[in-house]
Amino acid sequence: MPKRERNKFVKRGQVIDILIEDYAFGGKGIGRIRNEHGEFVVFVPNTLPGQFVKAQVKKSSKKYAECKLFEVLERSEDEVDMPYQSIPGAPYINLPIEKQHEYKTQSTLELFKRIGKVADIEDKFDEFVSSPNTFHYRNKMEYGFSAIGYNHELKTDVDEFTLGFKKRGTWWCGDNLNQDSGLFDAEFENQLKDIRQYCIETGLDPWHAPKKEGFFRYFVVRKSYKTNKLLFNLVTTSADLPKFDLDKFANYLVELFGDRVAGLLHTINDEIGDRTIATTGSISLVYGDDKIVEELLGLNFEISMKSFFQTNPKCAEKLYSKVVDYALENKEAIDNTVVLDLFCGTGTIGQIIASKSENAKIVGVDIVASAINDAKENAKRNNIEGLKFYAADVGKFLNEHPEYTNKIRTIILDPARAGISPKTLNKIINLNAERLVYVSCNPATQARDTEQLMQAGYEIKKLSLVDQFPHTAHIETVVLFEKS
């Protein structure tokens, strides 16, 4: 077996300081190492051109290396000061929003050219839809407890009770959130340090990730923008549970937030895996209600702690409006026909289309049974008829329900980040619909699917970008395909 050639620029595990020179899709900053052997490209996620950063090499090949960001040593000259505590979930909060939009537009269109083979993508570009709220836009946050903190002055781990987020680049180390991060509810986040102090005074331990032990694990909060209510979920292990008074904790939250408290749930999670709700755990209501209500485009949706719901509801209204605009652009292809809403989740898009069309039958399909149950309940609540929902794998559903085949002129697609499998996409193509409206939270997989759709005779008519997550690298895309 030939000996593998040694990388002449970096090795796995090496920590490097590097200047970021360019920006690639998905928030990957591009740095370059130059020496007597030539030039070598380094990708560092969540970085910007002009930043000088410390990063660790995770993977390397002959041509490039993938790194993990440890720390920004020097800021880019494009960055500005913000009155918020910096967190890993908002790596670009110091970059003016117009500059964020510029980077996202440029890198996404480039992706469709390179992966989707759409040479004239700029001609198809419709608009960049910005978020109505640049700050404090999220309706859900998960804060983690940790027995290991971080001393920013000494730049080292310390034994400390923390409540906040993981220290960037680590899985074992927490970082206290002491004030508003600019992403979630400001009143709540400014009080999080008081909640941390309350938990410290119980004498019970926070989760110690390396040892896989402790009591406090997560504190999850959902917010309704319709009612301004907060729904809380405290996640703990069962160890020492008799020593913790859940009712007293609920009363403390009411002292802090008054009638904003919709309810408090308690989840037991004894699994060692790093997730908030365990597959084997239990969830129980301690105080108040177990749901909040949100409104989108005049429709009401009940949201439980486990429900999937758009994280930025005000921008979701803009996203769904764009989807509906594309779907109803040729209203004849909707009225008196079957519209297939695949990967429909809680059925929001289908309900909106049904409420705006004449005698259209909307068929929603999603593999997550709880989402389909929510979809059915929401349709009842909103008194919308002409909707049918199926809990099924999309590929299997298309095999098992030929009764819809010849009546479909429009298909709505909103898959998960992985996109649509080639086999399932083939089945969708074989339905021979005139139009597809494809919504994606991952333009890279959507661009990949675009190539397959174009080979099958579909063309991109329009493409819009929707900034659901300001201050992150994420961008949502809505593409209208039509049969050529």
- Cite the annotated binding site for S-adenosyl-L-methionine by residue number: 310, 343, 366, 414
Measured CA to CA, the distance from residue 442 to residue 413 in angstroms comes to 13
What secondary structure does DSSP assign to 20-64, as a single string?
EEEEETTTEEEEEEEETTEEEEEEEET--TT-EEEEEEEEE-SSE
Measured CA to CA, the distance from residue 110 to residue 116 in angstroms comes to 9
Question: Residue 389's CB: how many other CB atoms inside 10 A?
Answer: 23
Three-state SS at 412:
strand
Measured CA to CA, the distance from residue 355 to residue 331 in angstroms comes to 13
Residue ranges at the known binding site: 310, 343, 366, 414
Question: Residue 376: what are its φ and ψ, rounded to 5°?
Answer: -65, -45
Classify residue 80 as exposed, middle or buried by CB count within 10 Å of its CB (0-12, 13-18, 19+).
exposed
Measured CA to CA, the distance from residue 154 to residue 73 in angstroms comes to 15
Structure tokens at 348: 């929001």
443, 431 contact by CB (below 8 A): no
Structure tokens at 477: 């895309």
Residue 11, Ramachandran bin (φ over 0: left; ψ between -120 and 50: alpha; else beta):
beta
Which amino acids are annotated catalytic?
441
